[in-house]
Amino acid sequence: MPTTADILKREIRALVFDQYGTIVDMQEGLTEAATPFLKDKGWDGEAHRFVTWWRRTHYENSMIDALCDRGHTPYRQIGHRAVSYVMDRCGITYRQDEVEWLVSQIESLKPFPDVIAALEKLRAAGYKLVILSNGDCDMLETAGPHIGFPFDEVISVQEAGYFKPHWTTYASAEDIIGEERTSLLFVANHAFDCIGAKSYGMRTAFIDRRRRPFGETPHQPDIIVADFKELAEAMC
């Protein structure tokens, strides 16, 4: 009997990656940037907790934005709101340019150590490699050199006008890539993103870096791997 990996290798034409937290190490990179900033502000909390609050607030605000369905708000603007809220919560006095600086650090995040070698292996195997990100178009363009890998397509949800996991973001990506949704393997470190892609009809791979359960949902991933190295081994 063929394994799931055998079936995916036979049927998948392109891999579609989330960027923030999947390709690039968002938690570690933003914590590194925030640590001296918060120290200068005299805040004695832990920087990684500040970043976690920031990311959770950003996620919540982006979901509210999509659900309200009153027009797409840029990722950067959502980020400014999130950072401002967390600094207010922490009792930190700040200027707007400081908020903007913190959010801009997202554009220079580095990939996880296992990513580039795995992408090169996947490209050599003949797959089309694509990014589908909640980031703004200009943010993704700026981030490209810091990632250091030439993807075949870099798609922003601005094309669809909604944040993931709204179904139109995956539909827009399908149109741009030019492949049937069942031949696309969506790859993410976030369950919500895998669920959104799977509910649309894509295949999905969950990168379980944090060793956490995926959760009960009818939209289970087709494959669960520990990191990109394991993904490349399964798909090649």
Give the integer Cα–Cα distance in Å for 22 and 227: 9
What tokens were used for 15?
């891999």
Name the 3-class secondary structure at 225: strand
Residue in this structure with the two tokens 């369950």, named with its chain if needed: 191
pLDDT at residue 2 tops 90: no
Q: Which helix (H) or strand (E) holds 116?
A: helix 115-124
Tell me the pTM. Answer: 0.96
Q: Does the pLDDT value for residue 47 go beyond 90? A: yes
Q: How far apart are CA 166 and CA 160, in angstroms?
A: 9
pLDDT at res. 187: 98
Q: What span, in angstroms and rounded, lies between the C-alpha atoms of 26 and 32?
A: 10
Find out whether 173 and 101 touch, Cβ atoms under 8 Å: no
Q: What is the pLDDT of residues 164-214, one digit of tens each?
A: 999 999 999 999 999 999 999 999 999 999 999 999 999 999 999 989 999
Give the integer Cα–Cα distance in Å for 185 and 15: 5
Domains of the chain: 4-25+109-235 (3.40.50.1000), 27-108 (1.10.150.240)
pLDDT at position 147: 98
156-173 residue pLDDT tens:
999 999 999 999 999 999
- Please report which helix (H) or strand (E) contains residue 206, including its range: strand 203-207
